[in-house]
Copies of this chain bind each other. A is one copy, B any other.
Amino acid sequence: MKAAFITAPRTFEIRDIPMPSINDDEMLVKIEACGVCSSDMSGYLNTGTHHPPFPRRAGHEPAGIVAEVGKNVKGFKTGDRITGYFADDCYAEYVKCNPSDRSARGHGSIIEKIPEGIPFEHALGEPLMSIVSITRTTTPEFGDFVFQVGAGFMGLGIIAGVSHPKLREYIVADLDDSRLALAKELGATITLNPSKVNVVEEVMRITGGRGVDVAIEVVGHPPGIRMVGDVLKNNRGKIIMVGWHQAPDTYELFSWIKSPIIYSPQGIGMSTDYQSELVRAMWGLEKGIFPMKRLVTHRYRLEDIDKAFQDNLNRTPGYIKGVIIPGL
């Protein structure tokens, strides 16, 4: 079977390797789609410090078909269409997994069946269950002003999950006007482009000088951190810090002092209720709450995985989320 190996910085190589063999507790899964995640980039670029030596593999947003089932496995059978979190080497034609493993990355395997009618390339359980986890942590209250900075794939998913008509306003800031337009379709009521307006002043004007009740940061860079602190009301406000702040940088944290609670619900292993969050994600998919047709913008063959990573790195116009499809 074919599998993608990062053999050097910015270089994938597709190699032919033996099929994984499974034990009684495991199952073999044929990968039909695997999402490209921005957190994979540091292993590809070889920045950061926690990577195994080359060649290394990646891919943790799988959707696929159960191809073979160990005799101790309960709840799954050959032919089941599944998604969730169950392996870290899913840029490949097949992977094996252990559905009862409780130790993987702090929470273990989380697997659910894909609802009928949802194509594999949209059934990306891993990022969707994270979005649901962040959404549940965020849960604003009746009449709250909500501010969010960042409208990429995660940010748009969060808007889709969090927004509803009993909130006062859902203000979204992003540098890309096309993403802001999509943010509005998904539930944002006001959008602001920091290259055109002073976002903090605008938010203060909108809220009558009071600031917002909930501020969500989905950027991963210092300006996002500062912005959520600057627009937050005094007292009782909360910050949701979603961005993946991988590198040391120059931050201003002073405005955070007025935020009594900051939630950081993004990291793998943060939720203690992921199974339920994957169930809720599948419901949201079926219900059309998460419009993956609009968010999954690019599909790639396994052989084109370098191109997929470069599109992610270069923020190619129109790119929101790419998916590797081994069978394409």
Which residues of A come within 8 Å of B, CB atoms? 100, 102, 106, 132, 135-137, 139-143, 161-166, 168, 225, 234-236, 241, 244-254, 256-267, 269-270, 272-273, 279-280, 283-284, 289
Judge whether B136 and A269 touch: CB under 8 Å.
no
**In the complex, what residues of B have CB within 8 A of residue A136's CB?**
141-142
Judge whether B139 and A143 touch: CB under 8 Å.
no
In-complex Cβ contact of A244 among B162, B165, B257, B279 (8 A): B257
**In the complex, what residues of B have CB within 8 A of residue A163's CB?**
166
Q: In the complex, A234 Cα to B135 Cα: how many Å?
A: 20
Output the least CB separation between A133 and chain B (Å).
Answer: 9
Output the least CB separation between A107 and chain B (Å).
Answer: 8
Judge whether A269 and B258 touch: CB under 8 Å.
yes
Which 9 pairs of residues, A with B, have the shortest CB-CB distance?
A143-B280, A164-B164, A262-B262, A257-B267, A245-B253, A251-B251, A136-B141, A248-B252, A135-B142
**In the complex, what residues of B have CB within 8 A of residue A279's CB?**
143
Judge whether A254 and B258 touch: CB under 8 Å.
no
Judge whether A267 and B262 touch: CB under 8 Å.
no
- Listed A/B pairs (7) with beta-carbon separation below 8 Å: A132-B142, A136-B141, A235-B272, A241-B262, A249-B250, A251-B253, A258-B267
**In the complex, what residues of B have CB within 8 A of residue A235's CB?**
106, 269-270, 272
Judge whether B263 and A261 touch: CB under 8 Å.
yes
**In the complex, what residues of B have CB within 8 A of residue A139's CB?**
139-142
Output the least CB separation between A289 and chain B (Å).
Answer: 6
Judge whether B269 and A234 touch: CB under 8 Å.
yes
Q: In the complex, A143 Cα to B258 Cα: how many Å?
A: 25
Judge whether A283 and B249 touch: CB under 8 Å.
no
CB-nearest residue of chain B relative to A131? B142
Q: In the complex, A63 Cα to B317 Cα: how many Å?
A: 55
CB-nearest residue of chain B relative to A259? B264
Judge whether A256 and B250 touch: CB under 8 Å.
no
Judge whether A270 and B260 touch: CB under 8 Å.
yes
Output the least CB separation between A280 and chain B (Å).
Answer: 3
Q: In the complex, A324 Cα to B251 Cα: how many Å?
A: 35
Q: In the complex, A265 Cα to B264 Cα: how many Å?
A: 17
Output the least CB separation between A208 and chain B (Å).
Answer: 10
Q: In the complex, A320 Cα to B108 Cα: how many Å?
A: 42
Judge whether A280 and B142 touch: CB under 8 Å.
yes
